[in-house]
Amino acid sequence: MIAKVTSCGLMGVDGFVVDVEVDISNGLPSFEIVGLPDTAVRESKERVRAAIKNCNYEFPIKRITVNLAPAHIKKEGPCFDLPISIAILHASEQIQVDDIKDYMLIGELSLNGELRPINGVLPIAMAAYKNDIKKIIVPTQNAYEAAVVKGLEVYPANNLYQIILHLTGEKRIEPFAVDFDSLFSNTDRYGVDFSDVKGQDNVKRALEVAAAGGHNCLMIGPPGAGKTMIAKRLPAILPDMTFEESLEVTKIHSIAGLMPQNMPLITTRPFRHPHHTISNASLVGGGKVPKPGEISLAHYGVLFLDELPEFKKDVLEVMRQPLEDGQVTIARVNATLTYPCECMLIASMNPCKCGFYGDNTKECTCTPLQIQKYLGKVSGPLLDRLDIHVEVSPVRYKSLESDETSESSSRIKDRVNRARKIQIERYKGYNIFSNAQLQPSHMHKFCNLGDQEKNLLKMAFDRLGLSARAHNRILKVARTIADLDESENIQSSHLAEAIQYRSLDRKFWR
C-alpha cells in the first residue's frame, strides 16, 4: 500500500513542500530512502524503526521505499523523521487517518518516540500557509515559533504516540496560540542606554546621523576611548522593528539554530560582534549547503567589527559587494542560495598598532612604516563604503566624574524616528526606506544642491581627493542631517557636517 504525508524542507531562508511517499510491498526486507537525502535523512531509518517499535507498534518486515519529492532538490536535516513514521504506519494500515492531507508534519524522533525540536520552523510554517495547508504538527519546543504565522493551526506534540492519538481522533491536541501584543510590549529590550556614555558628544552625534539614515560608520581612536561601549548602544536608538522585519530576521536565526528558547519572534535589532579570527564562510555564509553568515544574521540590525585591521584582508574584501547590494549570493555544487543582509556596518579601529598615533597624552611608539602598514590593511574601496568616519578621543577625567546626565537613548531615538518617517514619506513608491539605500539615479532628484553648496562640495572633493563613491556618500549623509533638522533642502551647514565625517581620509590615509 502507498501512503503520502506532507512535510517541508529548507532552501535558503524559504521552505518548500516535500511529499513523503511510502510504498510497502512484499519482498526481501529492506528500508530505502530516495529523493536526494543527506546523511541526517538517511540515518532516520534507524530512528524511525526504533521509535515505532518503542511506541508499541509493529515495524513492517517488508520492502519499504520512501520517496522525498521533488526528487531533484537535496533534503537535509532530521525533520523528516515524523512524517516518515506516520506514513509507514498509515501504509501498513496500523492507523487510519482520513484528513492526513490537511496536515504538515515535521520533527526529529528519538529512539523512544519522543519529539525533538528542529531548526527553521518559522520558514516551514510560512511555506505551509502559502501552500494552503492550514494545520501543522511540530515539536512542543517549536510551537511558539510556528504560531506567529497567522491563520495556521499549530499542534504541539511531545511524542509519536500523542500524534497518532490526535490524527486518529482518539485524543485531540489543543492548537497553540501566541499573544502578539505582548511580543512588542517591552520598551526596554536592550538593557543599555546612551546615558551611560560620558562625554564623546561628537561620536554620539555621528551615530545618531548613522542611525537616522542607515549609514555605515567607522570609529577610530585609542584603546579605552569607548568605541565598543558606544557601538553596543546603537541598536537602542534604531527604529523599532516592524512585524514584517521581525519575521524576516527570525527566519534567518531559526535556520541558523540561534532562536532563544520560548521566544517566537526576534523583536530587537540584531547586534552581531564577531571575533577578528572569523573566516570568509562564517562572515558572509557558506558550507556544502550554504548557511547564513554573520552579515545575514545582522539583517535589519548592526554588524560590529571591532579592531577592523586585525581581520584578514580577504575577509574584509568579501564584504564589499554584500554591503552594496544588501544581499549575499553563495554558489555551491549542491545549491545557489541568496540571503538578505540589509545591515548597518559599524567598525572601530586604533590609528596605529600601539593605538596612540595622534594622541596628545601618550606617545606613539610606531614607525611611519608600521603605521602605514597597519592602516593599509583597510582598503580604499572598503573605506569608501563606510559613509561616516569619526574620531574618538580619550575621555577626560572631568567628564567621567561629572554628575551631568547624558542624553538618553529614548530622546535620541525620537529624533531618529522623525527623520526615518520623513524618508519613508519622501521615497514612497521607490522601494527605498532610508537615505543609505539611495541609488546614483536618485541623487539629482533627492539630493539637489544650491550654488553655494555645490562650490563647497567641489572644494572638499578637490582637497580631500575623494572618489565618486565618497562624493555620493557625502550627499546621502548630508540628506540625513537635513532630515534630522527637518529641512526640505540640504543647506551648507548640513553639507559641511557631512564633509567633516570624511576628514579621516585625508588625516590617516592620504
Question: The CATH number of the domain where 169 resides is what?
Answer: 3.30.230.10
pLDDT of residue 503: 64
CA distances (Å), origin 289, targets 14, 35, 76, 314, 405: 14, 16, 9, 22, 50
Q: Which of 134, 152, 178 is the last residue of a domain?
A: 178
Chain CA centroid to CA 234, Å: 16
Tell me whether residue 453 is in a domain.
Answer: no
Residues 171 and 210 occupy one common structural domain: no
| Helix H or strand E encompassing 143 | helix 143-146
Strands 108-109 and 103-105: unpaired
pLDDT of residue 508: 47
Residues 258 and 401 occupy one common structural domain: yes
Q: Where are the beta strands (DSSP E) in 239-379?
A: 271-272, 302-305, 327-331, 336-340, 344-349
Tell me whether residue 42 is in a domain.
Answer: yes
Chain CA centroid to CA 304, Å: 13
Tell me whether residue 435 is in a domain.
Answer: no
Domain span at residue 220 reads: 194-427
pLDDT of residue 186: 58
Tally the residues of the chain: 510
pLDDT of residue 330: 87
Q: Looking at the 3D structure of the chain, how many domains does it have?
A: 2
Tell me whether residue 58 is in a domain.
Answer: yes
pLDDT of residue 140: 95
Closest CA to 34 of 26, 25, 23: 23
- Helices marked H in 256-367: 280-284, 294-297, 313-317, 320-325
Residues 261 and 290 occupy one common structural domain: yes
Residues 293 and 396 occupy one common structural domain: yes
Closest CA to 392 of 197, 200, 210, 196: 200
Tell me whether residue 506 is in a domain.
Answer: no
pLDDT tens digits in sequence order for the chain, 510 residues long = 789 999 999 988 899 999 999 999 998 999 999 999 999 899 999 999 999 999 999 999 999 999 999 999 989 889 999 999 999 999 999 999 989 999 999 999 999 999 999 999 999 999 999 999 999 999 999 999 999 998 999 999 999 999 999 999 999 999 998 877 777 665 456 788 888 888 888 999 999 999 999 999 999 988 888 899 999 999 999 998 888 999 999 999 999 988 887 778 888 999 999 999 999 989 998 877 788 999 999 999 999 999 999 999 889 989 888 988 889 988 877 678 889 999 999 999 998 888 888 777 788 888 888 888 888 888 878 887 889 999 998 887 777 777 777 889 999 999 999 999 999 999 998 889 899 999 888 888 899 899 999 999 999 888 888 888 888 899 999 999 999 999 999 999 999 999 999 866 554 444
Q: According to the 3-state scheme, what is the secondary structure of 486-497? A: CCCCCCHHHHHH
CB 407 within 8 A of CB 204: yes
- What angle do the packed helices 492-500 and 468-484 form, to 10 degrees? 130
The position carrying cell 509493529 is 58
Q: Which of 144, 178, 212 is the last residue of a domain?
A: 178
pTM for this structure? 0.88
In the chain, the amino acid numbered 393 is S
CB 6 within 8 A of CB 136: no
Residues 74 and 153 occupy one common structural domain: yes
Tell me whether residue 383 is in a domain.
Answer: yes
pLDDT of residue 156: 96
CB 226 within 8 A of CB 234: no
Report the alpha-carbon distance of residue 77 to residue 244 in Å, rounded: 27
Tell me whether residue 17 is in a domain.
Answer: yes
* Cα radius of gyration (the chain): 28
Residues 173 and 31 occupy one common structural domain: yes
Tell me whether residue 212 is in a domain.
Answer: yes
Residues 250 and 364 occupy one common structural domain: yes
Residues 335 and 381 occupy one common structural domain: yes
Residues 171 and 209 occupy one common structural domain: no
Q: Which of 393, 427, 461 is the last residue of a domain?
A: 427
Residues 288 and 418 occupy one common structural domain: yes
In the chain, the amino acid numbered 59 is F
Would you tell me how many other CB atoms lie within 10 Å of the CB of residue 117?
18
Angle at Cα 311 formed by Cα 309 and Cα 315, nearest 5°? Answer: 125
pLDDT of residue 509: 46
Q: Where are the beta strands (DSSP E) in 142-233?
A: 153-157, 217-220
